[in-house]
Every structure is written in C-alpha cells, then in structure tokens.
Amino acid sequence: MNRLTNKRILLGVTGGIAAYKSADLVRRLQDDGADVRVVMTESAQEFITPLTLQALSNHPVHLDLLDTETESVMGHIELARWADVVLIAPATADFMARLTGGHGDDLLTTICLAAECGVMVAPAMNQAMWAKQSTQQNTLLLKQRGIALLEPDVGLQACGETGAGRLMDVADIVTAVASLFKSTSLAGRHVVVTAGPTQEAIDPVRFISNHSSGKQGYALALAAIEAGARVTLISGPTNVAAPDRATVVNVRSADEMLEAVMSSVSDADIFIGVAAVADFRPASVETQKIKKSGGSVMTLSLVQNPDILKTVANLESRPFTVGFAAETENLMEYARTKLTAKNLDMIIANNIADTSIGFNSDHNETTVIIRTITEQGTRITEAHQPKMSKENLSRKLIELIAEQLAEA
C-alpha cells in the first residue's frame, strides 16, 4: 500500500553518525510513493556524501543558503513551499538547539523558519547527550511549538554505550510521516467536487472555454479523500490525473456538469464548486463546421448557462456549499457579494490576475470567507491563507470545512 503517493518530503540530514541511515530512509519514503528532496548541513556531508543522496533521490541535493544559482532556481523559500512536510532525520543536538533558538544560519534552519507545512524531527545522539537537560528542554519547547518529535529508540549505540538516543527505526519514521497525512475529520462524509473548465460547443470542431487547469479542484478531492471522505469528482476536460479513490464523472459543458452534480448531490454533506463554469454558451450549436464565407466579422449569440453553485446552495436539503471567486479586480468585494447572493457557506477568493497563483499555477494564495448563520444573526469571518502549494492549501481548506461542519 502506498501511503505517501503525491506527497513531497523535504528530508533534512544533519551531522551525526546515523546520517548513513538517511540513504535507506530516502528509499523507504520513495517506496511508499513520496517525492523526496534532500537538504544537508555542512557537517552531514562529512558523514555521507551528497552524491549518494542525489543518486537515490534522483534530484540535486541542496547544500547552501547563500548560493545565487540555487536561489534563483529553488531557493529556501521555494523549497519550504514545495514541501508537504519537512523531516529532519537524523537531527543532531546542535541542530535542535538552533531550531529552538529560531536560527536561520544555514539552509536547513532557514527552511524550517520559512516552512508553513508540518516539521518533524528525529533526534539521534549519544545517550548522555540526549539525557542532557539542555537537549530535553529543547525537545520540550519544539513539541510545544507543534513540531512532531520522533522519539529516539533505546539500544546499543555507535559509541558502544547503551541507552536512549538511537535514531527511530527507519520503517517507524516512514509510518510516522504517513500518519501525519491521515485524518478522519471527514470520515463517513460524501463530498462532491467540481473541477476544471467547461467547454461550450460552437460547432463540431470549436468551443468556448477558459484557462482553468483543474489542479485546485483535484487537490481538494485528494485532500477530502485523505480526510476519510467518499468523494465524487465531476470534472471538465483537464490533463490532471484523478485521485485513485474518487468516483470521477467526466463532462464537457455546463449543462452536462449540472446534470452530473444534481444526480450525485442529493446525499452529499459537502459541495465544493471549484470548476470554472462558463457563464455563457452559444445560443445554438451548428451541426456543420462554420465556414469563413460571409465577410470578416462573425457574430455569435450567447445565452446564460445555469448557475450550478447557486442551484446547489438553494436546494431545500442543501449540503455545506463552498464556492471559489476567481477574480482579476475588486477581489474581496466581489467575493463577499457572491457569498451572500448565492447563499454559500464559504467562499475562497483568489486573484487570478497574479499569474504566480491561481489558474494553471501550482500555488495559490487565498482569503477564505465563512458565513455562519446563528440564532443571533449572520456572522462573517475572513482568514487569509498565504501563498502555498495547492495541495497544502487544500488540506487547510478541508480542515476548515470539517471544523464548520462539526460546529453546525
């Protein structure tokens, strides 16, 4: 069973005897489906060569913070954003002290500072070093700050002593990483997600469409599956691979999408409309290819498409309904209006005028607006989500949706 398919793991290797075990760790993480990139401290390179880890991970190993060439390709911020989790194994006592102190004096500590994903630390050191009050206090502080501490094993050590301080067994580290992605927040729930663009036919060879890639919708479907939900993914034409465990319904036009949504939404707990549904379609579809004859201007009559999101949000027995507002201007104003006008529970506003996020990009930066209707009235809350991978954003959104559902 591949527990880490589609997961990006940034493995930090620091300078301890157990650094040789990181070679095995790279392989085991990959065997479980993960994409692994490696960052090494200067000391780590005295224990195992970057070449070994480069050959095993199939990617260049990242070594320096102040490397102008690397910074322009994949610098510390990019690496931190790329990762779904930063795993430091083995972690030296000194590295843990630097992490506790909030240092950013090398590539790995700086990545940890910049990381908005989970950070896991697997210490390995001599038993006396591990037992030392300073190390124990650092361990406690790191745990209090939400860093996952993979407690060292007890046993015979490289130095000949016996005690606690051996790197956690590599197979157990892989299991701990996998468990980070497991959530049961949507167990037993049915989630319907729409994704991608729609294509509105003009004639047998032409259509009107948009630039939606489907990446955000597919990432949300995957995050919902990871959270234990049964997922129906209704998708317009995309080039994105669908998650294994989703029931996928492929459609082309807005009409087809509406039909598919209506036949699956009746038992849905959550509906997430990510698809960029064309607002208009040609009034009639020509049965034969339109020829160039008849002057240099061609007029196309368009009629409005059904509003899928609004239709679902206004059903008598409606699921928790989430929409996206992809706008090029007046983002927040349009998003707030859409939230209320369409009777949504949540809207995710993203600025598609910025090409580094939104359509086609692997990243997104959004503001989530939540509308809660209580006996005291309607409450609107807004939460900004900084730029991050669409996968990480999806996990955050799914947890936010699950929290809302739990409170309802």
Ligand X SMILES: Cc1cc2nc3c(=O)[nH]c(=O)nc-3n(C[C@H](O)[C@H](O)[C@H](O)COP(=O)(O)O)c2cc1C
Active site residue ranges:
159
Confirm or reject binding of residue 112 to ligand X (CB under 6 A). no
Confirm or reject binding of residue 124 to ligand X (CB under 6 A). yes
Instruction: Give SS3 for 354.
Output: coil
Is 10 or 402 the residue whose CB approaches ligand X more closely? 10
Residue 323, phi then psi, degrees to nearest 5: -125, 170
Chain-centroid distance of CA 367 in Å reads 15
Name every residue whose Cβ is closer than 8 Å to that of residue 268 and which is 6 or more positions away in sequence: 190, 191, 192, 232, 319
Binding part of the chain for ligand X, among 48-56, 90-98, 238-246, 374-382 by CB under 6 A, reads: 90-98
- Binding letters toward ligand X, positions 127-156, x by CB under 6 A: --x---------------------------
Return the structure tokens found at 16: 């301890």
In the list 70, 92, 364, 385, the residue contacting ligand X (rule: CB under 6 A) is 92
In whole angstroms, the minimum distance from the beta carbon of 15 to ligand X comes to: 3
Instruction: Classify residue 87 by its DSSP letter.
Output: E
Report helix angle 21-31 to 170-180, nearest 10: 40
Binding part of the chain for ligand X, among 123-131, 175-183, 209-217, 262-270 by CB under 6 A, reads: 123-131
In whole angstroms, the minimum distance from the beta carbon of 17 to ligand X comes to: 4
Binding part of the chain for ligand X, among 39-47, 324-332, 349-357, 373-381 by CB under 6 A, reads: 39-47
In the list 23, 25, 41, 62, the residue contacting ligand X (rule: CB under 6 A) is 41
How far lies 336's CA from each of 104, 357, 380, in Å?
A: 39, 20, 9
In whole angstroms, the minimum distance from the beta carbon of 90 to ligand X comes to: 7
Confirm or reject binding of residue 17 to ligand X (CB under 6 A). yes
In whole angstroms, the minimum distance from the beta carbon of 123 to ligand X comes to: 7
Confirm or reject binding of residue 43 to ligand X (CB under 6 A). yes
Cis bond before residue 237 (omega within 30° of 0): no
Contact in structure between 255 and 238 (CB atoms under 8 Å): no
Binding part of the chain for ligand X, among 121-129, 261-269, 303-311, 346-354 by CB under 6 A, reads: 121-129
Closest CA relative to residue 88, chosen from 154, 167, 197, 178: 167
Q: Which residues of 23-54 are buried (b: 16+ CB within 10 A; e: fewer)?
A: bebbebbbebebbbbbbbbebbbebbebeebb
Is 41 or 232 the residue whose CB approaches ligand X more closely? 41
Is 6 or 52 the residue whose CB approaches ligand X more closely? 52
Instruction: Give SS3 for 184.
Output: coil
Can you tell me the distance from the alpha carbon of 109 to that of 280, in angstroms, rounded to the nearest whole number?
A: 51
Confirm or reject binding of residue 64 to ligand X (CB under 6 A). no
Return the structure tokens found at 163: 């005690």
Binding footprint of ligand X, residue count (CB under 6 A) = 15
Instruction: Give SS3 for 377.
Output: strand
Confirm or reject binding of residue 197 to ligand X (CB under 6 A). no
In the list 9, 29, 44, 221, the residue contacting ligand X (rule: CB under 6 A) is 44
In whole angstroms, the minimum distance from the beta carbon of 106 to ligand X comes to: 6
Binding part of the chain for ligand X, among 86-94, 197-205, 237-245, 349-357 by CB under 6 A, reads: 86-94
How far lies 349's CA from each of 7, 45, 65, 193, 368, in Å?
A: 25, 44, 34, 17, 6
In whole angstroms, the minimum distance from the beta carbon of 236 to ligand X comes to: 49
- Binding letters toward ligand X, positions 205-244, x by CB under 6 A: ----------------------------------------
Confirm or reject binding of residue 94 to ligand X (CB under 6 A). yes
Confirm or reject binding of residue 16 to ligand X (CB under 6 A). yes
Can you tell me the distance from the alpha carbon of 327 to that of 386, in angstroms, rounded to the nearest whole number?
A: 17
Is 120 or 186 the residue whose CB approaches ligand X more closely? 120
In the list 11, 39, 93, 268, the residue contacting ligand X (rule: CB under 6 A) is 93
User: DSSP alpha helices (H): ranges in 62-169?
Assistant: 68-74, 76-82, 93-100, 107-114, 127-131, 133-144
Residue least distant from ligand X (Cβ): 16
The DSSP line for 13-28 is E-SSGGGGHHHHHHHH
Is 152 or 358 the residue whose CB approaches ligand X more closely? 152
Q: Enumerate binding residues for ligand X (CB under 6 A).
A: 14-18, 41, 43-44, 92-95, 124-125, 129
